[in-house]
Structure 1
Amino acid sequence: MQSRRSILLKSQNLLRGISGQYEVVLVILLITIIFMIILPLPTWLVDFFIGCNIGLVLLILVIVFYLKSPSDLSTLPSLLLFATVFRLAISISTTRLILSEADAGEIILAFGNFVVGGSIIIGMVVFLIITIVQFIVITKGSERVAEVSARFALDSLPGKQLSIDSDLRAGEIDIEEAKRRRTKLRVENDFYGAMDGAMKFVKGDAIAGIIIIAVNLIGGMGVGVAQNGMALGDAVQIYSVLTVGDGLVSQVPALIMAIGTGIAITRIAKSDEDEDVNLGSDIIYELAGSGRELAIAGFAMVLFALVPGFPPITFLSLAALFGLAAYAVSRRSRQDVDMTSLEEGTKVDYQVPTIIRLEVAQSLLKTLNAEKLSENLGGIRARLYAEIGIPFPEVSVLQISDGKKDNWKLVIEGVKAVSGNFPLEKVNVIDAVQDLEATALEFETMKFRSVELKWVERSQTEALTDLGLDFQDMEDVICKFVEKELPSYAEEIIGVEEASKLLDVMEKRYQTLVTAVRKIAPPEQLTLILRPLVAEKVPLTNFRIVMEAILEWGPKESDPSALSEFVRIALARQISDQYANEDHKIPAYILDPEAEVLLRDALMHNSLGSFLTLTAEQSQVMIENVSAAIGNVDENEPVLITAMDIRQHMRKFLKNNGFDFPVLSHKEIHSDIEIFPLGIINAS
């Protein structure tokens, strides 16, 4: 018992050693092929190698049937090379046996007798037909497909790489998915390029088979008559059977390999999500997917049965087969429809509502160019990201019914942000009204959100172009107001998902920095830090500075609002540039130091945070002083400068009382920028 167990353990260890050294197995196979070419082999060993050859090509054929994508069998070009060399080594060994011993083993003899069947001419014709089918039909077609596939794969490579990079930048895929797609793309291109060359092996194999059979037949008869003293008729009989058998033993596996290769490279890849897809299921589904085609084919078989001289039983049998198949497919389709209807009737589709939605009435949507509208909305997201620094979510377009007051509206978080009722089949002229009045074109004007729109019939666009007048299509007009409105809702839009996406985008360039920030401020904490910044229109385009500030102050300060203030200080250069004029000066009002003391004393702190507790009289005086000061500003919006510790509280106080203008702290003014005082705001 102990000896059996030890033998079993040794066997398992040997198998593990072999399985872990696959390259050693391949080297042994190559050395074996070389010895097959050089050394004479006994007939039983040749029979064994012929059986291995047949088994190998059948295995490859079966594997090819279950491929989802041609590149899933990326080693196929190498397999073709190994199989071709192995098959040629067998042919050399059998040729040596035929010429030297007039005996090439039992398999070749059985093949020859079975195919020749008493007639040498029949055997030669069968062999030639198999070779012609392989060489002209299958191999030639597969070679052309491989050549075209390799060319197309190479031409489409830059576009596919750009698509992967674009999806990664947009946050639609993560880094790991991008790496997986790039690897798959590289494998596909290498595969098709290698197959373009590997098909030459298959083509050369077919040509070599024709030459080898001629050598065996002519050389065999010469050896039989000249050396072995055979009669010419006997030599022809013996060597023709062996030659045809040898040719078929070589060409039948080569034909199977060519078929498998043709199937692999002509296979159209399905989606990666289709796990159970294979060639057989695809063909059956696409040929028998509808009962109508099967019924028409069955009717055609009935007509063929009526043709004089055609065997009616054969065609009627086929007609019955097609008819039964059509009935079965139609019945299955009805059951699927009934089951789908039942499932739809009992299923509730819980869809996650989109954050930003553009609802367009059916009548207006029909006149819009869907591709251009989608492209414009995507461009808005890209521009807002470049200007504000936060990734806006996708704007979905939803068709709504006609008959409502407005034929389009922008909905953010389920609430209408902006809407309008624009005329159909019109374009908006950008040039002044006076320019339009100077022409003979009819137009109508419309005031919409302080913008004057001048509508002209879409059919007049050529005339507008000839007159040199610029105009906007309806898609551009709607998207113009969408882009104008979205920044106002940036504070509501930025959430945990957007904060996480920001980190993912920055991780491509600042991996170490992002890793450190994630530990200090995870996405939910980062969201609380960014929202006040976005609310006050602080640009986050230099997000590296934001992360470094969080990394510096995060371990010392846990309050998100306080961290926002430290980030503002780090962004002093950007904030100062935002409000400075051409002379590098910021025209601003300064909060009186006594007012700062008053606000500081009025601060109340509790578990919910800190807030001002000014009396009604104090608040009224402050509001009147602010109103009196900003009433003197004619052009640009005023800027108020105060101390850092009360800046955000002063900002909230002003906003709650109807004043929505920037409030900066002294520490946010960069050293390169000067303050140009417009006045002092007092608290008394």
Structure 2
Amino acid sequence: MLAAVNDKLKGLSKQMDIAIALLVVMILGMIIVPLPSPLLDFMLVINISLSLIILLLTLFTKSVLEFSTFPTVLLITTMFRLALNISSTRLILTQGAAGQVIDTFANFVAGSNFVVGLVVFIIIIIVQMVVVTSGSGRVSEVSARFTLDAMPGKQMAIDADLNAGLITQEEAKHRRKDLEREAQFFGAMDGASKFVKGDAIAGIIITIINLIGGILIYVTQQGMGMMEAMNHFGKLTIGDGLVSQVPSLLISVGSGILVTRSGSPKAFGTALGEELFGIPKVLMMVAGVLLVFALIPGFPVIPFLLFGVLAGTAGYLLNENEKTQVAAEKEQAIKEKAAQRTQSEKVQEESASAFQVDPLAIEIGYGLIPLADDSQDLNLTGQIPTIRRQCAQEMGILLSPIRIRDNLQLDPHEYAIKIKGNEVAIGVLYLDKLMIIDPGETQFDFDGIPAKEPSFGLDAMWIDENDREAADLKGYTVVDPLTVLVTHLKEVIRQNSADLLGRQEVKLLLEGIKDKYSVVIDELIPDIMRLGEVQKVLQNLLKENIPINDLVTILETLADYGNLTKDSETLTEYVRQALKRTIVNPYQDQNGTLHVLTIHPDTEELISQSIQKSSAGSIPVLQSAEITKIFDSLAQVHQQLDSMGIPHVLLSSPKVRPAIKNLISFNFPDIAVLSLNEVPNDVSIETEGMIEGSRN
């Protein structure tokens, strides 16, 4: 029986979209169509029940994202209350009655004196408008602004956690999605809070209309006495106002609770209990004060004595529990430190081999030598395996061990990242300070050292560790020096991944999958292609930020077309078509749409006719004026779409794609160039602009 009921409920939940649509239409209909008193009573009960559900939901949600539909619910419930107000007003003015619910509210609150009910109604309106609604609106406005301003810094923090190995790639995607939903929620709440204020104002106006209109109609048209009319319609008016404003107050309180949540991962009641009654010393001090009050003549002894004993007992039990927990944490910390030291020794043995020229190395000034100290819990040596593992997962490459050495020629706080002996990046760290990153259009309110975040060039500042709490409160993203270096190192690896993929690394990749996919490897190498030719294709993919972790598909495509051509550029295009979904996915928006910039047919034909082959690939040989025209057109559309936050790519025909990418790669390295053959048929395309050149 219960199973059948559960199945029915699941079936009904799937039809909620239809039910909500019918509800909205019904609300609009209630404004026009008169409702009989029994039906109005039924609707008022629904309104009260719905407001209680919303209030309790806000108390039990752990995050605003668990009730992300609240702004829309706020609008619908506001319209529902106003529609009920209009229906009750129609009944009051036409029939002199508005059902049992309103009548009961009026008699229960006002009794025999409607002035008392009027005072209560006015107090509720004041509490709602002046206290709850005003405060909720201000919190929503500030939260929306600070959430949007802090998004770049929070995204950096997510990347830092990902680089440090604290979260997985999937967890990082989920946190970025939650960050976007949170910004949308507070933005919507900033506007939705105005509905509640307007609802309160409308309630006052409707109440005045009910009172004055009812008295005038029944005195002038029905022959009712003035005092009798005032008493009768005063009660009805107050009852109607209370029936609408009490649910409105409940939802307003729920709105305030939801927007003032401080990000605790627990329900409000649980978090409040832990924070309000979580410090034993406070409870014991309160117990002492209450017991003193119990001894003062004139105060009630039993209440003060009872609560004093309860507070003292709770404080004692919490203190004993805290001692046990501290002892357990110390024991666990000792075990973790021993395990980390063992792991550090293994890493040191693994990375101790020397190379004639290091593929990837980090040189540090003498002031940064503590970063490489294995005796510390968090050190650069311990982060290297995590970085290598993440690069293998995200880009598909196997990095050689990363060498760390000191360099006395560098400034004490400088570090340099070198690839094959050549310096490709440099940065500055202060081990006794923390880096804060500007979350938006604000100024740094600290006396620190101005800097640039080395990975993405964001405005930053180095501050003292004593200022960390103040920086957190002001919304800055706070990053420790080790995380700054690790994030920079990973970004350098991503930008130079093609140079780090040598023949030895390719051989290790092939050996890693040979047990499962020996057939395709034996067919391809060396009969169809040499190892170096495969390496060139893989490097071409990495140059355009295409991961090579789908190595089987790449090798099978090369085996299919390797007998037809040995040109690495042409083979790369065949592989790109086979990896079309991997290529397109990063550039699709939330709805799966691919926003593209197209090239004018005349311009594309001009590029096609001017392509010349070189050791660097296909390059269009155009006049400088023509190139400038193309670049200006591309820059204009690209900047416009970037300012709107729309991801986009440049779409061309397969014939000219490599040439166009080589043409714009220096001036526009971040713009991906895709061919029509690289877009799956089920991916919707939306054209955002056209790139034009001019013939001379």
TM score, norm. by length of structure 1:
0.52
Change (3 A) 1:338 1:183: closer
Rounded to whole Å, the distance in 2 between the matches of 1:92 and 1:394 is 75
Rounded to whole Å, the distance in 2 between the matches of 1:133 and 1:122 is 17
Q: State the shift of 1:263 in Å.
A: 1.1
Q: State the shift of 1:265 in Å.
A: 1.2
Change (3 A) 1:344 1:196: closer
For 1:188, which of 178, 182, 186 is the aligned residue?
Answer: 182
Q: Deviations over 1:453-476 (max 9, x none)?
A: xxxxx9xxxxxxxxxxxxxxxx99
AA at the equivalent of 1:324:
T
Q: Residue 353 of structure 1 corresponds to which residue in structure 2?
A: 343
Q: State the shift of 1:93 in Å.
A: 1.0
SS at structure 2 position matched to 1:289: coil
AA at the equivalent of 1:278:
A
Rounded to whole Å, the distance in 2 between the matches of 1:104 and 1:253 is 18
Q: State the shift of 1:328 in Å.
A: 3.6
Q: Deviations over 1:552-596 (max 9, x none)?
A: 888999xxxxxxxxxxxxxxxxxx99xxxxxxxxxxxxxxxxxxx
Change (3 A) 1:344 1:129: same
Rounded to whole Å, the distance in 2 between the matches of 1:556 and 1:126 is 84
Q: Residue 22 of structure 1 corresponds to which residue in structure 2?
A: 16
Rounded to whole Å, the distance in 1 between the matches of 2:237 and 2:182 is 41
Q: Residue 304 of structure 2 corresponds to which residue in structure 1?
A: 315
For 2:78, which of 63, 72, 84 is the aligned residue?
Answer: 84
Change (3 A) 1:217 1:300: farther
Change (3 A) 1:518 1:290: farther
Are 2:274 and 1:280 equivalent residues in the alignment?
Answer: no
Rounded to whole Å, the distance in 2 between the matches of 1:427 and 1:347 is 32
Any gaps of 5 or more consecutive residues in structure 1?
272-276, 396-409, 411-416, 431-457, 459-474, 484-489, 504-515, 527-531, 558-575, 578-684
Rounded to whole Å, the distance in 2 between the matches of 1:19 and 1:364 is 61
Change (3 A) 1:15 1:367: closer
Q: State the shift of 1:256 in Å.
A: 0.6
**1:5-16 to 2 correspondence within 5 Å?**
none
Larger Rg: 1
**1:131-150 to 2 correspondence within 5 Å?**
131-150=125-144
For 1:239, which of 222, 226, 233 is the aligned residue?
Answer: 233
**1:391-540 to 2 correspondence within 5 Å?**
none
Q: Is the CA contact 1:517–1:551 (under 8 Å) kept in the aligned structure 2?
A: no
Q: State the shift of 1:111 in Å.
A: 1.0
Change (3 A) 1:428 1:92: closer
**1:54-453 to 2 correspondence within 5 Å?**
54-161=48-155, 176-270=170-264, 277-305=266-294, 310-334=299-323, 336=325, 353-354=343-344, 356=347
Q: Deviations over 1:130-159 (max 9, x none)?
A: 111111111111101111111112212333
CA RMSD of aligned residues (A): 5.8
SS at structure 2 position matched to 1:158: helix
Change (3 A) 1:133 1:518: farther
Q: State the shift of 1:66 in Å.
A: 2.1
Q: State the shift of 1:297 in Å.
A: 2.2
Rounded to whole Å, the distance in 2 between the matches of 1:322 and 1:120 is 44
Q: Deviations over 1:593-639 (max 9, x none)?
A: xxxxxxxxxxxxxxxxxxxxxxxxxxxxxxxxxxxxxxxxxxxxxxx
Q: Deviations over 1:191-215 (max 9, x none)?
A: 1111111001111111112222222
Rounded to whole Å, the distance in 1 between the matches of 2:231 and 2:519 is 86
Q: Residue 47 of structure 1 corresponds to which residue in structure 2?
A: 41
Q: Is the CA contact 2:207–2:237 (under 8 Å) kept in the aligned structure 1?
A: yes
Q: Is the CA contact 1:356–1:393 (under 8 Å) kept in the aligned structure 2?
A: no
Rounded to whole Å, the distance in 2 between the matches of 1:214 and 1:198 is 25
Change (3 A) 1:79 1:125: same
Q: Is the CA contact 2:58–2:257 (under 8 Å) kept in the aligned structure 1?
A: yes
Q: Is the CA contact 1:381–1:391 (under 8 Å) kept in the aligned structure 2?
A: no
AA at the equivalent of 1:217:
L
Rounded to whole Å, the distance in 1 between the matches of 2:518 and 2:187 is 43
Change (3 A) 1:297 1:168: closer
Q: State the shift of 1:298 in Å.
A: 2.5
Number of aligned residue pairs: 442
Q: Residue 566 of structure 2 corresponds to which residue in structure 1?
A: none
AA at the equivalent of 2:343:
P
Any gaps of 5 or more consecutive residues in structure 2?
353-367, 416-430, 432-480, 490-499, 526-530, 563-614, 617-696
Q: Is the CA contact 1:520–1:554 (under 8 Å) kept in the aligned structure 2?
A: yes
Rounded to whole Å, the distance in 2 between the matches of 1:329 and 1:121 is 51
Rounded to whole Å, the distance in 1 between the matches of 2:221 and 2:258 is 48
Rounded to whole Å, the distance in 2 between the matches of 1:116 and 1:394 is 81
Q: Residue 668 of structure 2 corresponds to which residue in structure 1?
A: none
Q: Is the CA contact 2:372–2:381 (under 8 Å) kept in the aligned structure 1?
A: no
AA at the equivalent of 2:242:
L
Q: State the shift of 1:227 in Å.
A: 2.3
AA at the equivalent of 1:189:
A
Rounded to whole Å, the distance in 2 between the matches of 1:270 and 1:290 is 18
Rounded to whole Å, the distance in 2 between the matches of 1:29 and 1:289 is 45
Q: State the shift of 1:24 in Å.
A: 2.2
AA at the equivalent of 2:258:
A
Q: Sequence identity of aligned pairs in percent?
A: 38
Q: State the shift of 1:175 in Å.
A: 5.6
Rounded to whole Å, the distance in 2 between the matches of 1:343 and 1:211 is 65
Q: Is the CA contact 1:217–1:243 (under 8 Å) kept in the aligned structure 2?
A: yes
Q: State the shift of 1:177 in Å.
A: 4.2
Rounded to whole Å, the distance in 2 between the matches of 1:90 and 1:72 is 29
Change (3 A) 1:390 1:199: same
Change (3 A) 1:328 1:193: same
